[in-house]
């Protein structure tokens, strides 16, 4: 790598790592008030809570990498411009467009890293996170009000076979009460519902049920209804979430292979699922944002140098917030079906690229 490109990267990389550290610190602060403090106050194991927090860091890093890159690039190039180092490079015969080589190269590396984190590390961390939360709940049911106290809510366990296991209470010793197991089908009604008054998770892969009923469905209509005194149900990778609302897992949190299969089935069945289709494109649009924002930041640096303007910390923060707000608005519109999935997912990236091209055109006229 040539000296100029290396010098530019030396200016940007420390800021990039600093921005990522700031995002992780903000995540811990947010979790401290919303999750950590309430759990510890109810007697949850500090070690398990710390593991749950640590397992959320990869997802925060994957989400923050593109914006952190833009923030670091704007600050780094602004510092070079303010100290007349870009001017000195131009005087020595280096064209301003050489700024794009290290910035876009770094943007490509961040894109690959963000995609690898999002589809390789984050799904595994999310699975482990839910397993840890299951341990937190079973270790001390008070953390979600499942100890029989008034005002408690159900918690929903999930397994690898796409079954939702609703638990009304957890008694001392791990006995479960008021269970409801629903076998889900993407885009279709449940194929099976099992209820039981009592149960126990044994060995992590067998659920023993007592005093229950099993109902199977075909085309949304009951097919068989069986009552039983005692039975066992094999389960796989049972996980819990401390969101006691029992809501479905967000489409964006679904692993890419599963999301591809689900959206393909929806296309064949003619099912309208804007959240799933938008999430599928966001799987690629989010990492590609690093390239788009790197290009925009470099173009803005060239424009600011040609116009004699200096971009500081405030502008970097405002532009980062503007991108995140734009991305969030288009994402919600896509998930609600107000906008097609492709433009909803890629609109924020496209706006950054178009804005960068416009800045370069204006800079050339100076």
Q: What is the pLDDT of residues 142-175, one digit of tens each?
A: 555 444 443 445 577 776 677 778 888 777 777 8
SS3 content of the chain, % helix, strand, coil (to 5): 60, 20, 20
Average pLDDT of the chain to the nearest whole number:
81
pLDDT the model gives residue 244: 44
How many CA atoms does the CB half-sphere of 105 hold within 13 Å?
A: 12
Q: Who contacts 61 (Cβ-Cβ below 8 Å, separation ≥6)?
A: 20, 23, 24, 117
Place of tokens 């929806």: 266
The pLDDT tens digits for 248-300 are: 567 787 888 888 988 898 888 888 888 899 999 999 999 999 999 999 988 88
Q: Who contacts 143 (Cβ-Cβ below 8 Å, separation ≥6)?
A: 38, 39, 42, 43, 44, 136, 137, 242
Give the C-alpha separation, 63 to 93, whole Å: 38
């Amino acid at each position: 790598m040539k000296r100029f490109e290396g010098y530019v990267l030396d200016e940007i990389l420390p800021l990039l790592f600093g921005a990522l550290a700031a995002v992780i610190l903000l995540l811990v602060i947010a979790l401290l008030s919303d999750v950590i403090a309430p759990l510890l106050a109810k007697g949850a194991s500090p070690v398990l809570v710390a593991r749950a927090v640590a397992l959320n860091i990869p997802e925060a890093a994957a989400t923050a990498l593109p914006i952190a890159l833009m923030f670091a690039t704007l600050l780094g190039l602004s510092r070079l411009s303010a100290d007349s180092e870009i001017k000195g490079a131009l005087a020595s015969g280096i064209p301003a467009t050489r700024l794009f080589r290290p910035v876009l190269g770094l943007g490509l590396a961040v894109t690959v890293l963000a995609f690898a984190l999002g589809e390789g590390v984050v799904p595994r961390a999310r699975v482990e996170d839910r397993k840890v939360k299951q341990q937190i709940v079973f270790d001390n049911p008070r953390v979600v009000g499942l100890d029989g106290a008034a005002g408690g809510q159900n918690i929903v366990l999930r397994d690898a076979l796409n079954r939702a296991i609703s638990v009304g209470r957890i008694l001392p010793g791990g006995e479960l009460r008021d269970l409801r197991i629903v076998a889900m089908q993407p885009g279709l009604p449940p194929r099976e519902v099992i209820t039981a008054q009592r149960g126990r998770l044994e060995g992590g892969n067998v659920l023993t049920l007592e005093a229950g009923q099993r109902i199977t469905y075909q085309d949304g209509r009951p097919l068989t209804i069986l009552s039983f005194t005692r039975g066992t149900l094999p389960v796989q990778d049972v996980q819990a979430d401390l969101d006691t609302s029992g809501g479905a897992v967000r489409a964006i949190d679904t692993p890419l292979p599963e999301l591809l299969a689900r959206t393909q089935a929806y296309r064949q069945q003619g099912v309208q699922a804007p959240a799933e289709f938008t999430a599928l494109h966001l799987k690629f649009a989010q990492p590609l944002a690093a390239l788009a924002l790197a290009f925009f930041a470099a173009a803005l640096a060239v424009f600011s140098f040609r116009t004699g303007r200096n971009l500081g910390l405030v502008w970097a923060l405002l532009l980062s917030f503007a991108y995140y707000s734009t991305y969030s608005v288009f994402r919600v519109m896509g998930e609600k079906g107000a906008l097609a999935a492709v433009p909803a997912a890629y609109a924020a990236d496209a706006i950054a690229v178009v804005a960068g091209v416009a800045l370069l055109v204006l800079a050339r006229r100076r």
